[in-house]
Each structure stands twice: as C-alpha cells, then as structure tokens.
Amino acid sequence: MNNKNNAIRIDLKEMADWIPSNSRVMDLGCGTGDLLNYLQKNKNVTGVGVEINNERVVSCVQKGVPVVQQNLEDGLALFDCKQFDVVVLSQTLQAMVNTEHILKEMARVADYGIVSFPNFGHWTHWWSIFQGRMPVTGQMPYEWYNTPNIHLCTLKDFEDLAGRLGLHIIKRSTYNNEKQVGFLPSWRSSLAVYYFKTPRVVPAENKIQAVEFLSPKA
C-alpha cells in the first residue's frame, strides 16, 4: 500500500487492507467516498457508494466514485443478491434505526461484510455513567440530546447478533486513539472493526435489473 492510504481514517485503513484487489465493493454510508476512492486507485476495485447527504454525494461524484443517493433505512432493494464481493458499513451501524435489517441486507448483497462501530464497553464510557453523565468521547462526540447514535453496543453484543444472523466472523481489530488494542479489547478499545463471511442466500424473485449510479460525465 502506498502513502495515499495515510490520509484516511484508521478503520478505513484496516478495511482497505482486508479487501482483496479487483473486488466488487459496496460502501454503505460512504460519506465523501474516501474508501472507494482509495480502493479504485490502489486495488483496482469496482464499486458503488450509498449516501443520503447531498454535499457528500457531490464530493463522491467529484472524486469519480459512483454513488447512489438513498436512505439506508429503506434497505438495499435496488441491488441483487450477492451482487458484490464485499459490503462495508463504517461507523454507521450505531446510527441505524433497524440494525438487524441492515445486517441482513448486507448478507444478502455480498459474500463478505465489514463493519466498524464505537465500542460502548470502553471503560471511559462506564466511568462517565458512574458519574451520572452520558459519555462524550472522540468516538462518540455528541451530547445525549443531539446524538445520532441510537443503538450503541459492546463487542460481545455485536458478536452475539452476528452469530444469530449466521455471520461468520473472520477477523476483528480494535483500536483506541488510532492505536491497536490487543489486551482486554472489550474494556480498553473505543473502536472495533469486524470482517465476516455471509451465509448463502437464495436470490429474490423480484430483482431490479439496473441501478443508476451518479458519476462524472465523460
């Protein structure tokens, strides 16, 4: 990997390392398209981002990243079963209203999935609660009254849900202040990244044959 990877977030760096070259990749809640932009330039992937924010969609288009403007809460009905090799959901899981549904949709559209999320089990969160206050940290920088994070979880919480949904966890990396945590990660890490294999899915009967991506005009 070259130095272009240095500018992206630590969880995106980990994801980029895990994603094989020449893969078909979908990035859910892709933001300004940093991950797909890197993967297109450095690992020859083909892919598409899904993003709802207008300004971020424009940024994706300016970078040459194909993007569909859509609310993830509406599901991924535009996409066929196993259309992608890898589907990514980075630091968005905790903001989903229907967490289980988006994980099921990820399993439907791709052979492998990668998610990252703030670890609510980090000791500083519990210390804040012990003091009578909701946590405000680098990974969760919002106050209780304006936070988009509605479904916070610990590492064990996610692993239990993944097991119930048939997602086979292959790799896990945990971080705190952009440094990898190996000892007592459930207690000492503030960010977790998981790579999992999805179960086989029988294709749905009603499939949409084409999706219009927003991309720069030639």
The radius of gyration computed from the CA coordinates of the chain, to the nearest angstrom, equals 17
Side chain identity at 215, as an amino acid letter?
A: S
State pLDDT tens for residues 145-192. Answer: 555 556 788 999 999 999 999 999 999 999 998 899 999 999 899 899
Is 60 exceeded by the pLDDT of residue 71? yes
Confidence category of residue 134, pLDDT binned at 50, 70, 90:
low
Query: Does this model's pTM top 0.85?
Result: no
Q: What pLDDT is recorded for position 206?
A: 43
Q: Does domain 3-120+152-197 have CATH number 3.40.50.150?
A: yes
- 42: enclosing H helix or E strand: helix 34-42
Domain ranges of the chain: 3-120+152-197
